[in-house]
Structure 1
């Protein structure tokens, strides 16, 4: 394995996280199973390793086995001691400013989530209201809300494993969105998460927008595989994929979807499942699928899958725009104007979508064990939004088996996940997943892919 250059140093705080209690320090330094040190170390390494693009969490951890991070507690505040950190995160011996900001964002969110989930007896994952309240609190604690700003946040979803021409297209779309004053929110990683931010950054520069927002929402289980890209200037770490997805649709005002793999499919199923809920029928939420001409077949396959599984009503909730960044920006601008009028009329906040109803099926954390994956109810007799929830869980499990440390470990020990269900539906699922494999959307280009799943009728 190639040796990596490392740096050991002391880092001063930046942002709001400047002091810690003795109890918080103890939890962050606790290396036991209940302690936070392992999680803190893994997320910190992902931040510091952001110059390298990869999707293998174990490989990253293996390359920097001797990396460690410690709290230096002083009466005047705190500092972080970095031991054998990736040298690419430093310039002239100093930690890059954006990396330093993200590092302390990790510290802020890990501690806050720990105190509000692990230690707060008032919180219960069985309560839909409690979960939404927690998402709200995490975002508020991260200063993600600008209360009087009209809707302008466009969530961009898409794969980290995309072809170069698809990446260039995401930049063109981001540029058109940025020219029209829209801010970008993504999963913060490479590929279709980086491209729109990069394009919008140039668009903002041309319009002399100096405080453009480039929001990255991630989770501990995936951050090492999708380290924050350099454009992110607001990083928030949610405790799991379900709360991360809810944060996207509560904070964002519209969604643009680029080509991707099972993770992108999971996101599509999530938002469609929510929009198919009868309670959300009249709530405007612009949703655009887009890509270059070469991605036309990809979206035709996605559209076919949605039509055959969730029906025409689901297809009516989005529009597909191929190879036209300008039209995407116009459609999103028009959609955001509808959102603004609706929220003004109904007294809903601009900064958090309170009126959107999200059921427990979309909020409860799904643990992708072999047993849970095999027991998923997959048949078209279910209400469309419930079927979408279960299909979303199936895709979430495949993402875990592909790149999340715990999921990869389970697959290695027990073999592929077994997915069963209604025969015709399972044929649709198998066909879609096979198309992802053939288009190299399961792993980064050049990586050999061993399926972490098997489809059983």
Structure 2
């Protein structure tokens, strides 16, 4: 990739210690957006001036703030309130005119190359992909097939689907705010995966999303493996709290959390879950809900829960919760391996081998899991308003995969109330979310959330955790 060209104007006046140091810049594109037709440029410019601008601005700011460890979008936007970013159309293509960018995104007056790549991934996914999909009859997002096609299109447009490559992409989930011991453990697991020539996909942020990638870089280097993949998949509502870490060399921003989760399970060949909080519980429930669907019971999908010795209690509580709410069949879809990175990597490597054999036998693509049936309950975006949170169906008079879908929404709403700008503002305006349901379901939900608080897994960086919900 050619070196990016930039024009810069550093703020010459001193800034008070409480104000963020900023830089102005005009940035040329990197990657596929270097070559666009005039029609494509015009659509991109229109999208940048539409209602998408606020979304584009917040995602771009999060990428430029990578490493600053802001813990929510509201705080980030307030700190850099003068930040702006505009798409400039020129005969040779497009450029980004940036005002008030965080100075940490630059070194000696030049934007860090990885951050520049991530910035144009924002442009590609938030504006370009949206412009391509808008008013396109191919993408009927009210149907299962249309939604999956949209996920496929966005991933392919980001060059994140690699044909002709054996299955080896391992998705790693876990908390963005974990202890040092847990972070070091995720690095060791990533190292063991890297030694076995497996690539890493995460939610792209810090903590359990960065550690496996960092460890894998060493494993890959020792094996002299080139072309390593460190795929990060995020979505606009969460990107400020989980800004892309610098190891990510492929960044994809999906339109919402549901498409982000579908991208994980469609492109990954196995999933490892490290300790986390409400967001990790949401991911677990999403995947188990899919695997419990009758059409998916024979599809191999290796799933391992793991952490250091002191994290055993976390997985005990998760395992107990799954047994009470979803039943023994759900518990049989995963392994729990405590404090043994080598065994985790070996089991995952063997699981991926079964995935390859199954895909080859059924003539399914290695790079996209088309056979996996994902019900619309797991695809339609859940907007965590107070009304929607109160209306969730939380009872056992439904199939386990349907209950998993509703339980997932509970934790999705809690994540929104914790770190997403719109969720935080909704709590400030209307008070706590109220969650209703049968005692047989609500008691274990309450117990699990209480265990997260007791284990300090609901504490956000820089501030003590305050619940955004109450169980009714």
| Alpha-carbon shift at residue 5 of structure 1 (Å) | 1.3
The residue number in structure 1 matching 2:22 is: 6
Tell me, yes or no, if structure 1 residue 225 matches structure 2 residue 245.
no
Tell me which residue corresponds to 2:12: none
Aligned residue among 200, 209, 221 for 1:193: 209
Q: Counterpart of 2:46?
A: 26
Measured after TM superposition, the shift of residue 382 of structure 1 is: 1.2
Aligned pair partner of 2:227 in 211, 233, 250: 211
Match of 1:137 in 2: 153
Match of 1:419 in 2: 435
Q: Is the 8 A contact 2:44 2:131 kept in 1?
A: no
SS, match of residue 348 in structure 1? coil
1:59 aligns to what? 75
How far is the alpha carbon of 1:120 from its aligned partner? 2.3
Q: Indicate if the aligned counterparts of 1:262 and 1:396 stay in contact, CA closer than 8 A.
A: yes
Alignment correspondent of 1:369 = 385
Deviation digits for residues 409-441 of structure 1 (CA, Å, limit 9, x no counterpart): 111111111111111210100010111112222
- Partners of 2:146 and 2:57 in 1: CA distance: 28
Contact 1:55–1:443 under 8 Å retained in 2: no
Structure 2 contact 71–462 (Cα < 8 Å) conserved: no
Query: Which 10-residue stretch deviates more, 319-328 or 105-114?
Result: 105-114
Q: SS of the counterpart of 1:124? A: coil
Residue 199 of structure 2 corresponds to which residue in structure 1? 183
TM-score (norm 1): 0.97
Q: What do residues 197-225 of structure 1 show as CA deviations (whole Å, max 9, x unaligned)?
A: 00001111111112110000000111111
Distance in structure 2 (CA, Å) of the matches to 1:197 and 1:57: 24
Report deviation, 1:51. 1.7
Partner of residue 274, structure 1: 290
Q: What are the superposed Cα offsets for residues 356-375 of structure 1, whole Å, 9 maximum, x if unpaired?
A: 11111111111111111111
Q: What's the CA shift for 1:446?
A: 4.8
Counterpart CA distance in 2 for 1:130 and 1:415 is: 36
For 1:428, the equivalent position in structure 2 comes to 444
Runs of 4+ in 1 over 4 A off after TM superposition: none
Distance (whole Å) between structure 1 residues aligned to residue 135 and residue 79 of structure 2: 34
- How does 1:63-82 map onto structure 2 within 5 Å? 63-82=79-98
Instruction: Note if contact 1:54-1:444 (Cα within 8 Å) is conserved in structure 2.
Output: no
Return the alpha-carbon distance in structure 1 between the equivalents of residues 173 and 110 of structure 2.
33
Offset at 1:342?
Answer: 0.4
Counterpart position of 1:153? 169
Aligned-residue RMSD, C-alpha: 1.2
Matched with 2:418 is 402
Determine the C-alpha separation between the residues in 2 that align with 1:441 and 1:115.
39
Q: Is the 8 A contact 1:219 1:240 kept in 2?
A: yes
Aligned to 1:300, which of 304, 307, 316?
316
Unaligned 5+ residue runs, structure 1?
A: none
1:303, distance to aligned residue in structure 2 (A): 0.3
Question: What TM-score does the superposition give when structure 2 sets the normalisation length?
Answer: 0.94
1:248 aligns with 2:254: no
Deviation at residue 183 of structure 1 after TM alignment: 0.4
Contact 1:162 / 1:444 at 8 angstroms: preserved in 2?
no
2: CA distance, partners of 1:331 / 1:129: 32
For 2:5, the equivalent position in structure 1 comes to: none
User: Shift in Å at residue 123 of structure 1?
Assistant: 2.9
In structure 1, the residue matched to 2:9 is none
- Deviation per residue, 1:395-419 (Å, 9 max, x gap): 1011111111111111111111111
Q: Do structure 1's residue 330 and structure 2's residue 350 form an aligned pair? A: no
Gaps of 5+ in 2: 1-16
1:46 is aligned to 2:62: yes
